[in-house]
Structures are given as C-alpha cells and as structure tokens.
Amino acid sequence: MLKKFQNKNGFSLVELLIGMLILGVILTALYTLLISSNKSRIAQDLEVEMQQNARSAADFVVREMRNINTGQPICLVNTTTACSPTSDQIVFTSMTDTDTRIFSWSSTDNILRFSKAQAGSPDRQPLADNITSFSMNSFDANNNSTTTLANVKRIDITITAQTSRADPNTNAYRTYGVKTSVMKRN
C-alpha cells in the first residue's frame, strides 16, 4: 500500500506553489507593461490633438489674414489702434468680400474664437480649444516693431496650446507652440 502513495506521476504541493508563484510574477509584469503602454498611448493621443489644434488654428489665421484688404485693418492688438473689447486681437475686412473678420482669445476659457459678419454683432465661434496664449506682433517694412497701424507690413503670430488633460505619465499638461508670419499684400 505504501507504494501506491509514492507514485511520482503527479506534482507535489511545493511544485504547484512554485509554478503559481512564477505565473504570478509573469502576469504582474505583463499587467505593468499593459498599463505603461496604455498611459503612453493616451499621452500620444493628447499630444497629437494639441498639435493638431495649434497647427490648424495657425493655418486658418494665416489664410484669413493673407486676405486683409489693401486698406489698413480696422484695429490690431499691440498698436495705437488697439481693438475693443480688449480680448479682440485683430479686426479687419477681407479682399474677397466686405465681411468683417475678428480673431479673439481670452485667458479665462483658453478658446481662440473667430467670427465673420457683414454687420452688427458678430457671432464668435470657437476656432481652437486649449489655447493658452495667442499673440500678434506687428513690424514695418524694415522689420522694426511698430505700433503705427498704417506702417504694418508683417504680423508675427504665436499660438501656444496645451493638452486637454494632464499627461498620465507626468501628471502635468504638455504645451506646444506655433509661430508664423503673415506679410501684408500691397
């Protein structure tokens, strides 16, 4: 009868526990790898969305501003003919039509807005979200900074965007800046 219990065809309790321990270590490593890759994917998605917002907003602003009427803009921030209310960055009419265009940005909601209106109160639609700064600097024909609206020949536009949520790896917001210039047509 003793020979019946000494059969070596099965696993002992110690062997089973060691096997379960090894399996647990492997599963823990796989879980950690899965969580890490998921955080990286989320961070990349946030970064792509942020860059896309900033670039598309910059492209749109440049495209619209290239059509500034050959007459002077109505107003431009950082000049002696500053816009009102203070959140307006630039107000101008286009060569393609007589509609008034307005770009505005407010630090309270971080949204860059655009409106195109024939007359009356413009309906400002969101152009880009999570824009932390939007600035325009004007230069004359000699590339000197100018505050005289009639002398403006080039406008440098700087847009800074941030991710919509904090990066899961660093718990901080990522930022991305776009700087471009518009030359006023004669």
> In degrees, to the nearest 5, what angle opens at C-alpha 92 toward C-alphas 91 and 93?
145
User: Global pTM?
Assistant: 0.78
Average pLDDT of the chain, as a whole number: 84
* 39-96: pLDDT as tens digits: 999 999 999 999 999 999 999 999 888 877 756 567 777 667 777 665 667 777 777 7
Nearest to residue 147, comparing CAs of 90, 81, 73? Answer: 81
| CA-based torsion, 120, 121, 122, 123: positive or negative | negative
Residue 132 class from Cβ within 10 Å (0-12 exposed, 13-18 middle, 19+ buried)? Answer: middle
Nearest to residue 162, comparing CAs of 126, 131, 128? Answer: 131
The per-residue pLDDT for 119 is 56
The per-residue pLDDT for 29 is 96
**C-beta of residue 13 within 8 angstroms of C-beta of residue 137:** no
Each domain of the chain, given as residue ranges in start order, spans 39-183
**C-beta of residue 87 within 8 angstroms of C-beta of residue 104:** yes
Nearest to residue 111, comparing CAs of 133, 88, 131? Answer: 131
2 compared with 170, residue with greater pLDDT: 170
The top-scoring range by mean pLDDT among 105-114, 136-145, 172-181 is 172-181
* 121-149: pLDDT as tens digits: 667 888 999 999 988 888 888 999 888 87
